[in-house]
Amino acid sequence: MGGRLLRLGAAACIMHRDPKRPIFKGKPLLYLEQGFSEWAMQAGVAVFMLPLLSEAPPAAPALDAWLDTVDGLLLQGGADVAPGSYGEEPLRPEWAGDPARDAYEIALIRRCMEREIPILGSCRGAQILNVALGGTMYQDITTQVPGALVHRDWEIYDTNLHEIDLREGSWLASVYGGAARGVVNSVHHQAIKDVAPGMRVEATSTADGIIEAICWEGPGFAAGVQWHPEWTAGGPPGQLPPEPLMAAFLDAVRERLG
């Protein structure tokens, strides 16, 4: 590495064409949420947003050109995962998700998996990682999981907290010193349903069993957490700190680089 900073590529969030938007009228926008990039950069790495060149999934040569420049892939939160991406129809129009973003991220994920480039996802990032590798989703926790907690409350947003159980002996438990339980924020109305082949469950919501973290069992490294670690700093006290999670991911990145 020659002492250079590690370089992480972040998949972009997409603001689609909107002729009523007051800035960049009618133009599609790509963006990186500031707290998410700072979560990584505070660990002493560089973060670059990976472009979306069109509505279609990027071709392999373009993917490889981008991925040749980065050491790991970060997956942000944001729009719902489209049910069509895991073989379902939307149960409601508002749950149609973002198929274009799905296709872009799924292409990135699958190519990173082939090249064993480490991946870490937050919220939607964990969900699309699961879907890219063959898993499915609950389109809406409230209507599909009887007795579930309120996992998304718009009014209190990332101060909505709950406990999770970390699986004994899991990678995530080791990240947090063998802890069996922790507190996390919750800003999602969708959740992982069927775990993708090759993925293992790392944590679940204590009260209702909703999957809160997954990790790849095969070669390479890929993991996702359902909460937003990037919003923990400065939030309500008592939450699992974000720094150990990023540090453990960067250990996986360095291990690949040798």
- The verdict on whether 94 is a catalytic residue reads no
Structure tokens at 33: 């949420």
Give the model's pLDDT for residue 59: 73
Residue 156, pLDDT score: 97
- Catalytic annotation, pick one of 105, 202, 212, 230: 230
Do the Cβ atoms of 5 and 71 come closer than 8 Å? no
pLDDT tens, position by position, 36-47: 999 999 999 999
C-alpha span between 26 and 218 (Å, rounded): 43
Q: Is the pLDDT of residue 3 over 60?
A: yes
Residue 87 has pLDDT above 80, yes or no: yes
Confidence of residue 56 (pLDDT cuts 50, 70, 90): low
Mean pLDDT, range 138-153, rounded to an integer:
97
Look up 230 and say whether it is catalytic: yes
pLDDT given for residue 233 in this prediction: 87
Judge whether 202 counts as a catalytic residue. Answer: no
Greater confidence (209 vs 53) lies with: 209
pLDDT of amino acid 52: 76
pLDDT for res 110: 96
| Residues 194, 131: Cα–Cα separation, whole Å | 9
Average pLDDT over the chain, rounded to an integer:
94
Both tokens assigned to 40: 């990584």
Of the candidates 238, 201, 197, 237, the residue with the CA atom closest to the CA atom of residue 218: 197
Residues 242 and 178: beta-carbon distance below 8 Å: no
The yes-or-no verdict on residue 202 having pLDDT over 70 is yes
| Mean pLDDT along residues 134-151 | 97
Rounded Cα distance between 184 and 172, Å, is 13
The two structure tokens encoding residue 73:
């892939």
How many angstroms from the chain centroid is the CA of residue 148?
22
Residue 1: is its pLDDT beyond 70?
no
pLDDT over threshold 70, residue 34: yes
Q: What is the rounded end-to-end Cα distance, in angstroms, of the chain?
A: 9
pLDDT at 190: 98
DSSP single-letter state for residue 221: -
pLDDT at 111 over 60: yes
Please tell me which residue in 105, 123, 162, 202 is annotated as part of the active site: 123
- Which domains, and CATH codes, for the chain? 7-257 (3.40.50.880)
DSSP 84-121: GGGT---SSGGG---HHHHHHHHHHHHHHHHHT--EEE
pLDDT above 80 (res 54): no
Distance CA 242, CA 82 (A): 28
Provide the whole-model pTM.
0.95
139 within 8 A of 202, measured Cβ to Cβ: no
Percent of the chain with pLDDT over 70: 97
Nearest Cα residue to 100 out of 34, 193, 17: 17
Whether the predicted pLDDT of 153 surpasses 70: yes
pLDDT number for residue 55 = 54
